[in-house]
Amino acid sequence: MESLEKSKYNIFVFLQEMIKMIPLHTLYLLLVALINAFLPTVQTLAIAEFVNRVEGAYGGVSDIQMVVIPLIILLGIVIFKQMMPSVTNLINVSAQNHLKIVLRNRFMKKQAVLQYRYIEDNESCALIYRVCEKAENRFWTGYRTVCNGIELVIKCAALIGIVMQASILSGAAILLVSVPLFYLAYKTGKQNYVLQKDAVEIKRRYQYLSKILSDRNHAKERTMFGYSKRITEEYDRLSDYANQKEAVIEKKRYANMKSGSLTMVMLAVIIMLLLLPALSSGKLSNGLYLGLVTSILNLVQGMSWNLAGIMQGTADLNAYLNDVGVFLSMEEKADADVEPLKIPCFQVETIEFRNVSFRYPGREEYVLKDCSFVLQGNKCYAVVGKNGAGKSTLTKLLTGLYEDYEGQILINGKNLQEYRYGELKWMFSVVFQDFARYALSFRDNIWVGNVNENNVQLLEQVIKKLELEACVQELPGGIDSTLGKLEKDGVDLSGGQWQKLAIARLLYSEAPINILDEPTAALDPKGEAKVYEMFWQVNEEKFTILITHRLGAARMADEILVLDQGRIVEQGTHKALTELESGLYKEMFESQRCWYET
């Protein structure tokens, strides 16, 4: 797997995209941030004017009515501060709703066209989850952090500007202390982010344990194995540990805030003292002095609460944007989202693996090494081999999920990679070991096997062939009953019925090549052999590859291929392979014989 570290999705790209996705919301928040940023300055000047004019009126220099204007401005500021949070709350909700639609759409599309290797890789999967989970919230919170940052910087700069006009020394003092204070807060913010990431990871683990302890899917095993007590202990241990970590973060944050605010209070006192000469020389009016003191104290209060939060938010945003960048630059599969594309008059003649070698991305060892074999279109095959021999990998290569193999795979003599991906989708129908159980109606569970077809007759035939009629009749809503546990009235099927339903999808599809990749692994060997027997009977006319490590079903195939150490070591009929003096198939068959004898 290539490095998941590099990313070009920086804060500037992020801001551009935010403006594109939700221009009005971003503009609103920026405006509010700017107004908030300049508010202390306006407030300072208004207080100054107010005090000066009141002084003037009492000294008989000016008219008391002159006091009205700064008073109106101060009133306006109060009203704005009162109103703004509720309007902003509404905007927050609306912005996230908009983002949810745009981002979900975009991220889902990206996920749908990703190269298959990412889906199977744990690290990539975790990253995709981190990016897509509540993306709208992460984007909006990130943007708010940026606006808060802009607001704080402007607030400080404007205040420093006014102070500098009265006393350069005081302005320089604020600047001198502010810069390291910002830096310190950024470092603490980053440290907190790392600590929090650990805590989130632990939380994820104990939340999973909580799921095991409470959800329906684990109920049977929970009762049978009686592991609840042990898992509860582990849950308690992990949640205590996560709480301790969070307590450390809180303590750090608090200490950081308090030390920050203490420094700022000291700074405020120093500034007030430094400004005294300017006040007594008349360079600074009483009003402006009072206004400045009020604003500095306000800023101190705001800084102590906001600075660490903004810095932690920035570290969080940076890490998130890095993940987003990696996700968006993940390689896509051409045509990945196309619908199956029928090839007119197509019939399977041969499928050939010619010296195929393959290893999974990032792995040293080859799963297939110089693997060669030919399958004829008019026969049914079984591929057998021990667990981990590479049987499923064969399916993944044949169906085009992985393309970076060495050697050639040919269908009817034509290189697999020369077929369009839509054509391959049409060509193959596979039932995997971990086949899906869709929480859809019984009918739709079969229909998804061929979404281009709405053939009621074929559907009925398939149900009949697989002896599922009684099962349908017993369902409360017949064929339209919703299956699964997602809905309150959803009906659950037995394991065997779900398996048949997965096979029904395959029969309903018009794919000329059928692959069964151990979908019956959950059944006992005899049960499995029975299902396959039925499958052979109902699906004679289609080219089928059956993959299994249990040989009961393989016997029914026209030919058996034995996969071992990355290559086909034996190929022939059951009879021919068991008549060999020695061989892997014979050995496996002998050791499994007792599974099938009554």
In the list 145, 392, 482, 520, the residue contacting ligand ADP (rule: CB under 6 A) is 392
Query: Which amino acid appears at position 270 of this protein?
Result: I
Q: Give min distance, CB of 514 to ligand ADP, in A.
A: 17
Per DSSP bridges, beta strands 543-548 and 381-384 are: parallel
CB of 580 to ligand ADP, least distance (A): 22
At CA 529, angle to CA 526 and CA 530, rounded to 5? 90
For residues 1 and 439, which CB has a smaller minimum distance to ligand ADP in the complex?
Answer: 1
Q: Quick one: which of 387, 454, 494, 598 contacts ligand ADP (CB under 6 A)?
A: 387
Of residues 541, 210, 75, the one with CA closest to residue 348: 541
- Amino acid identity of 248? V
Give least dist CB 397 to ligand ADP, A. 10
Asked whether position 385 contacts ligand ADP by CB under 6 A, the answer is yes
Name residues contacting ligand ADP, limited to 498-517 (CB under 6 A): none
Give the three-class secondary structure for 565.
coil
Residue type, 132: C
Complex with ligand ADP: residue 339 or 434, whichever CB lies closer = 434
Piece in contact with ligand ADP (CB under 6 A), picked from 172-180, 220-228, 309-317, 390-398:
390-398
Of 76 and 362, the one with the shorter C-beta distance to ligand ADP is 362
d(CA 307, CA 188): 10
In the complex, what is the shortest distance from the CB of residue 120 to ligand ADP, in angstroms, rounded to a whole number?
3
- Please identify, using beta-carbon distances, which residue of 313 and 390 lies nearer to ligand ADP: 390
CB of 428 to ligand ADP, least distance (A): 16
Q: Which residues of 414-445 are buried (b: 16+ CB within 10 A; e: fewer)?
A: eebeebebbbbbbbbbbbbeebebbebbbbeb
Work out the angle at residue 408's Cα, subtended by the Cα atoms of residues 560 and 371, and round it to the nearest 5 degrees. Answer: 40
Element (H or E) spanning 438, and its range? none
CB 520 within 8 A of CB 498: no
Q: Which stretch binds ligand ADP (CB under 6 A): 23-31, 214-222, 388-396, 519-527?
A: 388-396
Applying CB under 6 A, among 389, 431, 515, 588 the residue interacting with ligand ADP is 389
Nearer to ligand ADP, 51 or 554 (CB): 554
CB of 117: closest distance to ligand ADP in angstroms? Answer: 7
* DSSP β-bridge partners for residue 216: none
CA atoms of 78 and 212, how far apart (whole Å): 52
Would you call 365 helix, strand, or coil by DSSP? coil
Tell which positions 82-141 bind ligand ADP, by CB under 6 A.
Answer: 120
Whether 399 and 428 have beta carbons less than 8 Å apart is answered as: yes
Interface region with ligand ADP, contact rule CB under 6 A, candidates 3-11, 161-169, 346-354, 384-392: 384-392
Which residue, 115 or 429, is less far from ligand ADP as judged by CB?
Answer: 115
- Nearest-angstrom CA–CA distance, 221 and 199: 29
- In the list 360, 432, 595, 596, the residue contacting ligand ADP (rule: CB under 6 A) is 360
d(C-alpha 324, C-alpha 133), whole Å: 11
Shortest Å, Cβ 121 to ligand ADP: 7
CB of 387 to ligand ADP, least distance (A): 5
User: Could you tell me how many residues of this chain bind ligand ADP (CB under 6 A)?
Assistant: 12
Nearer CB in complex with ligand ADP: 7/544: 544
Judged by beta carbon, residue 380 or residue 562, the one nearer ligand ADP is: 562
Q: Which is nearer to ligand ADP, 389 or 513 (CB)?
A: 389
Tokens of 96: 């996230």
Residue 392 or 514: the one with the smaller Cβ distance to ligand ADP is: 392
User: Do the Cβ atoms of 405 and 357 come closer than 8 Å?
Assistant: yes
H or E element, residue 349: none
What φ, ψ does residue 571 adopt, rounded to 5°?
Answer: -150, 130
Q: Rounded to whole angstroms, how far apart are CA atoms 311 and 188?
A: 8
Judged by CB under 6 A, which of 390, 449, 512, 519 binds ligand ADP? 390
Q: Which residues pair with 429 in a beta bridge?
A: 514
Q: In what order do the strands lie in the sheet with 368-376?
A: 368-376, 350-358, 406-411, 414-415
Hey, which residues between 418 and 457 contact ligand ADP (CB under 6 A)? none
Nearer to ligand ADP, 120 or 444 (CB): 120
* Cβ-based nearer residue to ligand ADP, 55 or 403: 403
Q: For residue 520, give the H/E element and its range.
A: none
The nearest distance, CB 211 to ligand ADP, in angstroms, is 25
Contact residue for ligand ADP among 388, 477, 478, 495 (CB under 6 A): 388
Site string for ligand ADP, 240-269 (x = CB under 6 A): ------------------------------
Residue 6 C-beta: closest distance to ligand ADP, Å: 22
How many Å apart are CA 337 and CA 333, to the nearest integer?
9
Using DSSP, state whether 327 is helix, strand or coil.
helix
Q: Using alpha carbons, select from 183, 185, 131 the residue that is nearest to residue 305.
A: 185
Question: Least Å distance between CB 376 and ligand ADP?
Answer: 23
CA 419, 422, 423, 428 torsion-angle sign: positive
Minimum distance between the CB of residue 531 and ligand ADP, rounded to whole angstroms? Answer: 18
Tell me the CA distances in angstroms from 7 to 21, 115, 139, 318, 580, one per residue in order: 21, 18, 17, 11, 57
Nearest to 520 by CA among 542, 553, 478, 490: 553
Q: How far is the CB of 427 from ligand ADP (least distance, A)?
A: 20
Total residues belonging to the chain: 598
Residues near ligand ADP (CB under 6 A) are 120, 360, 363, 367, 385, 387-393
